Structure 1
Amino acid sequence: MAGHSKWANIKRQKAVVDAKRAKTFTQLSRAIIVAARSGIPDPAGNFQLRTAIDKAKAAGIPNDNIERAIAKGAGTFGGDNNSLEAIRYEGYGPGGVAILVEALTDNRNRTAADLRAAFSKNGGNLGEMGCVSWMFSQKGVCTVEGVVDEEQLLEASLEGGAESYEMTEAEIAEVFSAVEDLETLNKTLNEKSFQVTDTELRWIPSNSVEVTDADQARSLLKLIDTLEGLDDVQNVTSNFEMSESLMALSIV
C-alpha cells in the first residue's frame, strides 16, 4: 500500500493512543490563523477557513479557542501571530525516500535548524528547495467513510469534478481533484449524503521508492515521526512504499 495512505491511517491510530492533544491544538489553531489571514475571516465565504474550523471542532478544540484563532488571523486580537508564514522544506530520508515538510513558523532559522537536526539524526538530509518537489503534485482530497456503493460514489465524484478515487480500506475512499475543484467536490459529496470526514490539500507522489530493509524502515518511520513532532511542522509527505509488517515497526 502506498506510504502516504497507509501512514495516514497509522497516524490516526497513534493519535488515539498517544493523545497528542497540545500538538494537535497548536497545529489546527495555526491553520485557522493562516486561513483567516489569507482570506476573509468569515467561514461562510472562506473555504480554507471553514475546513480548518471543521478539523478543529472534530479534534475537540473549544469554540473560544477557535474564535480567538480567527481573531488573531484577522488582526483583531493582538499578539505576534501575524508573523507566521507558511514554508515548504524538502529533503531525503533513508533509502533515498523523498520527503516534503510543510511548516508554519515565526522564525525560519529555528525551524530550519530543528528540521536539519531531525533529518541528520535519523539517516536523512535536508535539501534545497525544489530538490524533491518535482516528484509531487498537489491535489485536493476528500476522505469518505461508509461507502457501500462504489457506483454511487463514482457518479457523485465525477459530478463534483473529481479526477479519481481510491478505496483505502473497507468502506473508506479517498477522492482526488484538482486544487481549484476541491470546494465543489466537497459540497457535491455532502449534498449526495456521503460522509466526508476530512478535506485537505495533499502532495501526491508521481513515483515511489520501495523500502524493504527493516533497519531502513525503522529509521525512516522514526524520522517522519520526529518531524511530525516538531512544533512548527503541519504536514509531512513522503513517496515510500512499505509492507504492513514493516509499517508496524512504527508503533512498536
Structure 2
Amino acid sequence: MAGHSKWANIKHRKGAQDAARAKLFAKFAKEIMVAAAKGGPDLSSNASLRLAVSKAKAKSMPKANIENAIAKGSGTSKNASDSFKEIIYSGNLKHGIILLVICLTDNQNRISSDIQYLFKKANGVIGKTGSIPFNFERKGILEIKIEGIKMDDLEMAIMESGAEDYKIEDEYVTIYTNPSDFDKVKEKMEKMGFSNFETAEVTFVSNDKVQLNEEELDKFMNSIEEFEDHDDIQAVYHNVDIDIIKE
C-alpha cells in the first residue's frame, strides 16, 4: 500500500473496489491513530500525524474517517485506540530481491509467525528484525498526475520548491525530497497551485534495482499482494524494477 512502490500505486489505481478501499483506509486509520496517540491531535505540532494524514488524503480517504481516527488515537473518542507497535522486518527472495516490511500490530507473536509464513511461502529468508537494508533510503515522495498541467509551470515550481529531484514516468511526475524538507516542499507546491497529489508521504526508496523476466515478475507480484493483504502490514518496499522486463 502506502509505501512508494509503483506496483502499490498501480494496484491502488486499478483496484478501486470497495473492499480494497476499505482495507486501505483501515490501514491509514491505524497509522493515524498511533501517531495521534503518541503526539496528540494537533497537526501543527505533530509531524508524524501530519505525514499520516497527508498520505491518507492523497488516496482520497474521507475527512470524517480521518477525524474519527485522530479522535480515537488521542483518546477523545469513547473507542480509544488499542496499543499498536511498529515492527520492521526485512528479508531476501530469489533473484536478489530485498523486501522491507513495515507492520503496525497489537499482537507481536501473531505478526512474527505470519511474517515467517509469508517469507517461507515466497521462498524467502527473513533478515534481522528491526533493521533497514543498506540499499533503502528514506525519501519524501510527492506524485502528481500531469494530465491538463503545463509542464513548464510544473517543472519551474518543482525547482523553486527545494525538492531534491523529480522523474517523469507515463502520465505522472514523482518529486523526491529530503525527509526533513517534505512538509516545506509540499507546502510550497500547494501555494504554487499544485496540490492534487496522487501520493504524498515519506517512504523508503531502493537505490539498487533488480530486473526480472515476465514469469519471475508475475510470481513476485503475487507474493507482494499476499504481504499487502495482511491487516497488520502497513507497507511493503522492494528493489524490483517493474518498468523493465528482463529478456
Q: What TM-score results when the alignment is normalised by the length of structure 2?
A: 0.85
Residues 23/17 of structure 1: CA separation in 2 closer, same or farther (3 Å cut): closer
* 2:176 aligned counterpart, secondary structure: strand
Aligned equivalent of 1:107: 107
Deviations 1:105-124 (A, max 9, x none): 11111111111111111222
Q: What TM-score results when the alignment is normalised by the length of structure 1?
A: 0.83
* 1:134 aligned counterpart, secondary structure: coil
Separation in 2 of the partners of 1:245 and 1:16?
26
2:117 aligned partner, one-letter code:
A
Conservation of the 8 A alpha-carbon contact between 1:145 and 1:194: no
Separation in 2 of the partners of 1:91 and 1:18?
31
Separation in 1 of the partners of 2:12 and 2:74?
31
Separation in 2 of the partners of 1:178 and 1:153?
19
Conservation of the 8 A alpha-carbon contact between 1:36 and 1:49: yes
- Once the two structures are TM-superposed, the CA of residue 17 in structure 1 deviates from its matched residue by 4.7
- Once the two structures are TM-superposed, the CA of residue 83 in structure 1 deviates from its matched residue by 1.5
Within a 5 Å distance, the mapping from 1:181-220 to structure 2 comes to 181-197=181-197, 198-212=199-213, 214=215, 216-220=216-220
Conservation of the 8 A alpha-carbon contact between 1:39 and 1:46: yes
- Once the two structures are TM-superposed, the CA of residue 243 in structure 1 deviates from its matched residue by 5.1
1:190 aligned partner, one-letter code:
E
- Once the two structures are TM-superposed, the CA of residue 136 in structure 1 deviates from its matched residue by 0.6
Residues 60/164 of structure 1: CA separation in 2 closer, same or farther (3 Å cut): closer
Separation in 1 of the partners of 2:243 and 2:183?
34
Q: Which runs of 5+ in 2 are unaligned?
A: none
Aligned equivalent of 1:156: 157
Conservation of the 8 A alpha-carbon contact between 1:146 and 1:195: no
* 1:113 aligned counterpart, secondary structure: helix
Aligned equivalent of 1:138: 138
Conservation of the 8 A alpha-carbon contact between 1:32 and 1:66: yes
Residues 178/167 of structure 1: CA separation in 2 closer, same or farther (3 Å cut): same
- Once the two structures are TM-superposed, the CA of residue 132 in structure 1 deviates from its matched residue by 5.8
Separation in 1 of the partners of 2:108 and 2:204?
22
Separation in 1 of the partners of 2:76 and 2:150?
47
Which range is displaced more, 226-235 or 51-60?
51-60
Conservation of the 8 A alpha-carbon contact between 1:138 and 1:203: yes
1:231 aligned partner, one-letter code:
D
Deviations 1:38-95 (A, max 9, x none): 33302344354345335545544461x4333212221333557352122211011232
Q: Give 1 or 2: higher helix fraction.
A: 1
Please tell me the root mean square deviation across aligned C-alpha atoms, in Å.
Answer: 2.6
Conservation of the 8 A alpha-carbon contact between 1:43 and 1:49: yes
Aligned equivalent of 1:179: 179
* 2:134 aligned counterpart, secondary structure: helix
2:182 aligned partner, one-letter code:
L
2:156 aligned partner, one-letter code:
E
Conservation of the 8 A alpha-carbon contact between 2:142 and 2:200: yes
Separation in 1 of the partners of 2:88 and 2:130?
10
Conservation of the 8 A alpha-carbon contact between 2:158 and 2:189: yes
